[in-house]
Amino acid sequence: MKEFTELRVWQEGKSITVSIYKLTEKFPGQERFGLTDQLRRAANSVCANIAEGFERYHTKDKIRFYYLARGSAAECKSHLLISKELGYLSEETTKNLIEQCSEIGRMINAMITAIRE
């Protein structure tokens, strides 16, 4: 692959980021600098760290950024669960987004394993 945009994991990350931006538009105004911002930043971080890791030359550098992306996917899950508990997201929407985050995490793990071998 020549570009990070060709990576399926980056494409999945972008997809969930766009979904999160659209969903958080409906969050209450008082969450603008709280949960809305945190959730959006975590989602963006997944894509950004995958892109940065892809462009790194050294294996340790690549893996470090992929670990950061995986951590950001987990952070998204935490923010999504809190959003659901506060009544900002439905059970079904939350479940779907959390599954997407989990899938991204699995894909990142597979990339890390492949790089190490």
In the chain, what are the domain boundaries? Answer: 4-116
In tens, the pLDDT along 51-68 reads 999 999 899 999 999 999
- Rounded Cα distance between 111 and 34, Å, is 32
The top-level CATH class assigned to 4-116 is mainly alpha
Whether the predicted pLDDT of 71 surpasses 90: yes
Collect all residues with Cβ–Cβ distance below 8 Å to 23 and sequence separation of at least 6.
Answer: 89, 93
What is the reported pLDDT for 85? 97
In tens, the pLDDT along 72-103 reads 999 999 999 999 999 999 999 999 999 999 99
Contact of 70 with 19, CB cutoff 8 Å: no
In tens, the pLDDT along 5-43 reads 999 999 999 999 999 999 999 999 888 888 999 999 999
pTM of the model: 0.92
Whether the predicted pLDDT of 1 surpasses 80: no
What is the reported pLDDT for 67? 97
